[in-house]
Amino acid sequence: MRALTFTFFLLALLLDLGIAKAWADSGEWTQDQRVNAQNFIDAVVAHNEAAQILNNGGAGSLMSLMTAEEEKSLIAKLQEAYEHANAVRDDVLDKIHPDLKHYWKDKFTEGLRLELSNLSGKGDVVAEVKGSALLDEFGDWLQANGAQIHIPK
C-alpha cells in the first residue's frame, strides 16, 4: 500500500468534496447508475481507511506490530472495500472512465481479493504480495487518470 495510500486519499477527498475535475453530465446517468456509482466511492474510501489502519499500526506494513483489534479492523475495511468493488456494475465503470473496467476488476478488485486471502487466515503470503502489487498498479493508473474520472453529483 505504498503511494497508493496517498492516491486513494486524494481521490476520496475529491469525490467526497464533490470537486473532481470532470463531472459527468447528470442527464447522461440514470438514477440507478448514480446509486451504483456510490459503490465505487465507498470501495475507494474503505480501502483508504484500511491503509490508514495499516499505516497507524506503527511499522507501515508490518502487521506483526498491530494489535488484534487493529488487524480485525484492517480486515473488515478491506472486506468492505472488496464487497463495494464487486458491486460496481460494468456499465457504471464504463461511464466513470472508458478504461476503468479493466483496471478496477483486474487490478483493484483482484488485488483486494488476494490480500484478503492471506489476511483472513489462509496464510497465503505470496497472494498478499501479488495483491499489493496489483493495487499499486491500480494506484499508478488512478494517479495518471484520476482527473478524467466522471461521477455524477
Give the structural domain span for 109. 4-16+28-147
Q: Which residues of 30-68 are buried (b: 16+ CB within 10 A; e: fewer)?
A: eeebbebbebbbbbbbbbbbbbbbbeebeeeeeeeebee
Q: Is residue 105 part of a domain?
A: yes
Q: Is the pLDDT of residue 122 over 80?
A: no
pTM of the model: 0.81
pLDDT tens string 99-110: 999 999 999 999
Is-contact 8 48, C-beta < 8 A?
yes
Residue 39, in any domain of the structure: yes
Residue 152 lies in a domain: no
The answer to whether residue 21 is domain-embedded is: no
Query: What is the number of structural domains in the chain?
Result: 1
Q: Is residue 94 part of a domain?
A: yes
Which region among 17-21, 61-65, 147-151 has the lowest average model confidence (pLDDT)? 17-21
Residue 91 lies in a domain: yes
Any domain includes 153 = no
| 92 within domain boundaries | yes
Q: Look up residue 58 and give its DSSP letter.
A: T
